[in-house]
Amino acid sequence: MVYSIGKVSVYETEPDNTVVGTQDGVWDKVEYLHPDSVDRHAKGEENHSRRLGYGYPIAPETAPKTVLWKSKTKLPPDYAFGNNEIMLVSSRFRDLVERFEPGIHQFLPVGMYFSKQDEKPFDTFYWFVCCQLIDSLDPDHTTIPWRGFYDERMEDGLRRGRWHINAEAQPPQKDVFSLKAIGDRHLWRDPYWSRGMVRCSNEFGEALRATELTGFGISQREQV
């Protein structure tokens, strides 16, 4: 089955953490590695931190480099923090991804410190940038309406429009993923449907469960 990857809490009370430089605009410096190759939605994103969630590689030197993790008793889980657009992950998750799709996605290193006074990081985590976009919903079985013109393409190659769910519809509208469109790929974002979520193949989802990586939650989706 296809899965959506999300974050779950591993502590009853989450420890404080801070991306160093947030108050000084460190996120505003984030830029795409190939800005002329991104689609119109990615280009128009004014919140630079969200650029990590558009499916395009980031210029490594522009990403934040340091996080303060303010607890020595509650160490960071494998999915340390994020909102699924921003994903700070461990080397264990990086190694799993590289096992399935070597060299496709980005892992931008982040030094993890307990305090600003520490001389060296206690660990290195990574901004996970999923660098694969797939038009992955099956239009014949998905019951979510398409807002726009599905068969019309824009200059950037994307379809005109997107899937637009009505959360109050009865019966509930559903997304159904196309195994034909996904092929043998394992991790992706869909440019037309909840782009902020990373989806994964059954094989990757089962491996994620088997390795017991902490902080990750996966939910099963329909497929044809």
Q: What is the pLDDT along the chain (224 residues), one digit of tens a residue?
A: 899 999 999 999 989 999 999 999 999 999 999 999 999 999 999 999 999 999 999 999 999 999 999 999 999 999 999 999 999 999 999 999 999 999 999 999 999 999 999 999 999 999 999 999 999 999 999 999 999 999 999 999 999 999 999 999 999 999 999 999 999 999 999 999 999 999 999 999 999 999 999 999 999 999 99
- pTM of structure: 0.95
SS3 content of the chain, % helix, strand, coil (to 5): 20, 30, 50
Residue 93 CA to residue 97 CA, distance in Å, equals 6
| Angle 140-142-145 from CA coordinates, rounded to 5° | 100
